[in-house]
Amino acid sequence: MIFNRQLNRQPRWLKLGLIAVWAAILTLGLSDVPGFAQSANEVWQIGTEPTFPPFEMQDEASGELIGFDVELMNALGEAAGRDIEFVSLPFDGLIPALQSNTIDAAISGMTITAERAQTIDFSRPYFEAGLAIAVREGADDIASFEDLEGKRIAVQIGTTGAEQANAVAGASVSTFDNAPLALQELVNGRVDAVVNDLPATLYAVNEANLQGVEIVGELITEEYYGIAIPKNSEVLGEMNIALGQIIEDGTYADIYRKWFVSDPPILPQVAPALSAAVTSSFNWGRLFQNLIQGAGVTLMLTAFSFFFGLIGGSLVAFSLISPFKPLRLLCRIYVDFFRGTPMLVQLFMIYFGLPALF
Ligand code: ARG
């Protein structure tokens, strides 16, 4: 009742104005949410970080996306009856984009790891790879992973290579937005080694004519690439069926031979990283530690917002009784705006609507 009387005090044009503003933000915001805007069509929006030859790269002449992953995904789209639309994103932005359902899937030479599988799903493995060490030609002090101790290493941000490098004792690790930049740093002599996926480094050395770099030692890891998909998405099933289909009918092998000039290996149904994780990944101690840490952050944020909310709220309250009419009106709009809509809708708008505005 109180609420109603409050609202009725506002002139009609003000209410209509507020509704119009909300409608505009809603439209803007929702057009960014794939489920809302595209539920009717058959497009898969596929995220990729397109500087990872030979998996994904830009064709120099046409500017188009090409590569093994790109062709594979187009074949998958065909098998599943979907149009494919690629979306370029930073590598460390792919998983957040999947979590917010901004994209339907990501193909980006992404290794299936137990840690990633906690926040996103993976298709069955589609490529066998592993990490290798690259050094400047003739550098004889690094021949294995152990030799990296205390050295300067360049990696691509957010990758399994970065994770391995960070585990090396005493090493100073510099991160780059993409693998070619990390390799260039090696050529320029500013780092001693690059830890990167073998097929990508091989391609850079053999095909892209990266001069003065060689690969040393054995593979550091055995990894499998998977197509990354948001949790609880029906895309997972469709993708796996399509993948099975193109492996079966030879399309996969054709694409593989085109890019790697050899026959594809037989791929496991489940990546070893995931089958091993089932037994070892659940850790109560870690869970408890995370919860305590989270509670601390929540308390801090509460205290912080209480403090500033008190100051802000008092200012608005005083303005509401000020003799200066425009100020009163402005504060009225502000108050009604935030009080008149559910908190969830506000959060939604801030999360999806604001990025759409910029
Ligand atoms: N396989 C590595 C990983 O998953 C590196 C992938 C990098 N991919 C890319 N498109 N830049 O961490």
CB distance 123 to ligand 1 below 6 Å? no
Q: Mutation test of ligand 1: which of 68, 108, 164, 220 has the most ligand atoms closer than 8 Å to its C-beta?
A: 108
Confidence (pTM): 0.69
Q: How many whole angstroms from 45 Cα to the centroid of ligand 1? A: 19
Token pair 């596929």 is found at 46
Q: How many whole angstroms from 85 Cα to the centroid of ligand 1? A: 20
In degrees, rounded to 5, the angle at the alpha carbon of residue 159 between the alpha carbons of residues 80 and 259 is 50
Residue 135 bridge partners (DSSP): 214
Q: How many whole angstroms from 88 Cα to the centroid of ligand 1? A: 14
d(Cα 105, Cα 228) in Å, to the nearest integer?
A: 6
Q: Can you tell me which atom of ligand 1 is nearest the CA of 56?
A: 10
Token pair 């919860």 is found at 291
pLDDT, position 37: 46
Q: How many whole angstroms from 159 Cα to the centroid of ligand 1? A: 5
pLDDT, position 168: 94
CB distance 159 to ligand 1 below 6 Å? yes
pLDDT tens digits along 3-52:
444 444 556 666 666 667 676 666 655 555 554 544 434 899 999 999 99
Token pair 């080694």 is found at 193
CB distance 69 to ligand 1 below 6 Å? no
CB distance 108 to ligand 1 below 6 Å? yes
Q: In angstroms, what is the C-alpha Rg of the chain? A: 26
Which SS3 state, helix, strand or coil, does residue 115 take?
A: coil
Token pair 């992404």 is found at 110
Q: Number of helices and strands (H, E) in the chain?
A: 15, 14
Q: How many whole angstroms from 62 Cα to the centroid of ligand 1? A: 24
Q: How many whole angstroms from 157 Cα to the centroid of ligand 1? A: 9
Give me the tens of pLDDT residue by residue for the chain, a chain 358 residues long.
Answer: 444 444 445 566 666 666 676 766 666 555 555 545 444 348 999 999 999 999 999 999 999 999 999 999 999 999 999 999 999 999 999 999 999 999 999 999 999 999 999 999 999 999 999 999 999 999 999 999 999 999 999 999 999 999 999 999 999 999 999 999 999 999 999 999 999 999 999 999 998 888 999 999 999 999 999 999 999 999 999 999 999 999 999 999 999 999 999 999 999 999 999 986 555 556 788 889 999 999 999 999 999 999 999 999 999 999 999 999 999 999 999 999 888 889 899 888 888 888 888 7
| Closest residue by CA, ligand 1 atom 7 | 109
- Residue of 29, 64, 27, 48 lying closest to 355 (CA atoms): 29
pLDDT tens digits along 55-76:
999 999 999 999 999 999 999 9
d(Cα 191, Cα 165) in Å, to the nearest integer?
A: 13
Written as six digits, the tokens of 151 are: 């050295």
Q: Can you tell me which atom of ligand 1 is nearest the CA of 129?
A: 1
